[in-house]
């Protein structure tokens, strides 16, 4: 004689209102974490220090004002000159032919 066991079918899992809210909150937190990770990775890639900064070699007759105007056309030349001075640790307007100036990243 063979004994048969009858298994009772269990009802499907049902979430309560609070359970659905918690699950939704967890999904939202995961999405926010993924967004933050992607944003910080993308912003680091845009400011990659491994790539050399643009530079220009000064030619005879070049002036700091001409270079600043050429680098940032349409911008106030005084701001561009100040930016070039700070970036290259210059104290005045004098440039020497052959001098290499680091240009601001765009």
Residue range 63-102, pLDDT digits in tens: 999 998 888 888 888 999 999 999 999 988 889 999 999 9
pTM flag (> 0.75): no
Determine the pLDDT at residue 57. 93
Determine the pLDDT at residue 44. 64
Residue range 37-56, pLDDT digits in tens: 888 877 666 555 667 888 99
Q: CB-hemisphere CA count at 13 Å for 31? A: 6
- Residue 30 clears pLDDT 90, i.e. is over it: yes
Average pLDDT of 12-31? Answer: 91
């Amino acid at each position: 004689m063979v004994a048969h066991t009858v298994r009772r079918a269990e009802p499907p899992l049902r979430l309560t209102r609070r359970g659905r809210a918690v699950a939704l909150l967890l999904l939202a937190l995961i999405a926010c974490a993924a967004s933050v990770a992607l944003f910080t990775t993308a912003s680091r890639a845009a400011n990659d220090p491994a790539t050399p900064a643009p530079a220009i070699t000064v030619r005879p007759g070049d002036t700091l004002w001409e270079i600043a105007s050429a680098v940032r056309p349409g911008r106030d030349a005084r701001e561009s000159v100040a930016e070039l001075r700070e970036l290259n640790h210059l104290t005045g307007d004098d440039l020497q032919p052959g001098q290499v100036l680091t240009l601001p990243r765009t």
